[in-house]
Amino acid sequence: MKKIFYILTVGTFIILQACKDYLDVVPDNVATIDNAFTDRTNAEKFLFTCYRYLPGFADPRYNPGFVGSDEIWLHQKGNYLNDKFGSSLTWDIARGEQNINDPLLNFWDGRQNGSPLWIGIRDCNIFLENIDKPRDLDEYEKKRWIAEVKTLKAYYHFYLLRLYGAIPIVDENLETSNSPEEVRVYRDKFDDVVAYISDLVDEAMEDLPLKVLNDAEELGHITKPIAAAIKAKNLVLAASPLFNGNADYAGIVDNKGNSLFPSSYSPEKWVKARDAVKAAIDIAHEAGHGLYKFQSSLGAISDSTILKLSLRNAVAEKWNEEIIWGNTSSTWQIQRNCHPRLVSNHALNTHTHNLLAPTYRMLEAFYTENGVPIDEDKTWDYENRLDLKAGDAEHKHYIKEGYETVKLHFDREARFYASLGFDGGIWYGAGRENDNDTWHLEMKEKQIAGHRGPGSYSITGSLVKKLVNYKTVPGTGSNFTIEPYSFPIIRLADLYLMYAEALNEVANAPNAEVYEYIDKVRERAGLNGVVDSYLNFSINPQKPTTKDGMREIIQHERTVELAFEGHRFWDLRRWKLAVKNMNAPVKGWNVFEESAERFYKPVILFDQTFSVRDYLWPIREYSLLVNTNLVQNYGW
Flag whether pLDDT at 113 surpasses 90: yes
User: Which residues share a beta bridge with 259?
Assistant: 253
The pLDDT value recorded for residue 475 is: 77
> 3-state SS string over 403-417?
CEEEHHHCCECHHHH
Phi, psi of 32 (to 5 degrees): -140, 165
Contact yes or no for 524/31 (Cβ under 8 A): no
Q: Where are the domains of the chain?
A: 19-288+618-626, 289-565
Rg (CA), the chain: 25
The secondary structure of residue 478, as a DSSP letter, is T
The secondary structure of residue 341, as a DSSP letter, is P
The pLDDT value recorded for residue 386 is: 98
The pLDDT value recorded for residue 79 is: 38
Phi, psi of 325 (to 5 degrees): -135, 120
Q: What is the mean pLDDT of residues 506-530?
A: 98
Contact yes or no for 58/305 (Cβ under 8 A): no
Query: What is the rounded average pLDDT for all residues in the chain?
Result: 91
pLDDT in tens, 23-73: 233 344 445 787 899 999 999 999 999 999 999 999 988 999 999 999 999
The pLDDT value recorded for residue 349 is: 63
Phi, psi of 52 (to 5 degrees): -70, -10
Higher-scoring residue by pLDDT: 563, 89 = 563
pLDDT confidence tier of residue 21, bands split at 50, 70 and 90? very low
- Per cent of the chain over pLDDT 70 is 91
pLDDT confidence tier of residue 343, bands split at 50, 70 and 90? confident
d(CA 128, CA 570) in angstroms, rounded, equals 31
3-state helix, strand, coil in the chain (%, to 5): 40, 10, 50
pTM of the model: 0.94
pLDDT in tens, 149-187: 999 999 999 999 999 999 999 999 866 656 667 678 999
Flag whether pLDDT at 4 surpasses 50: no
Lowest mean pLDDT among 79-83, 415-419, 509-513: 79-83
Flag whether pLDDT at 614 surpasses 80: yes
User: Which residues share a beta bridge with 7?
Assistant: 15
The pLDDT value recorded for residue 25 is: 35
Flag whether pLDDT at 385 surpasses 90: yes
- Per cent of the chain over pLDDT 90 is 81
For residue 163, which of 88, 48, 55 has the smallest C-alpha distance?
Answer: 55
The pLDDT value recorded for residue 101 is: 97
- Range 289-565 has CATH code 3.90.980.10: no
d(CA 468, CA 315) in angstroms, rounded, equals 9
Q: Do domains 19-288+618-626 and 289-565 have the same CATH topology?
A: yes
- Written as one letter, the residue type at 199 is D
Strand segments (E) across 418-565 = 420-422, 426-427, 439-440, 462-464, 473-474, 480-481, 487-491
pLDDT confidence tier of residue 15, bands split at 50, 70 and 90? very low
Helix intervals (H) in 100-138: 117-130
3-state secondary structure of 227: helix
pLDDT in tens, 321-331: 999 999 988 89
Maximum Cα interatomic distance, the chain, rounded to a whole number of Å: 76
Contacts of 119 (CB under 8 A, 6+ apart): 8, 9, 22, 25, 53, 110
Contacts of 419 (CB under 8 A, 6+ apart): 311, 312, 366, 464, 465, 466, 563, 564
Q: What is the mean pLDDT of residues 265-278?
A: 98
Cβ-in-10-Å burial (0-12, 13-18, 19+) of 607 comes to: exposed
Q: What is the mean pLDDT of residues 492-501?
A: 98
Dihedral sign for Cα atoms in the order 57, 59, 62, 66: positive
For residue 12, which of 148, 150, 106 has the smallest C-alpha distance?
Answer: 106
Flag whether pLDDT at 241 surpasses 90: yes
User: Which residues share a beta bridge with 429?
Assistant: 432
Contacts of 18 (CB under 8 A, 6+ apart): 176
Q: What is the mean pLDDT of residues 515-544?
A: 98
How many Cα neighbours within 13 Å face the side chain of 606?
23
Fold of 19-288+618-626: 1.25.40
- Written as one letter, the residue type at 134 is P
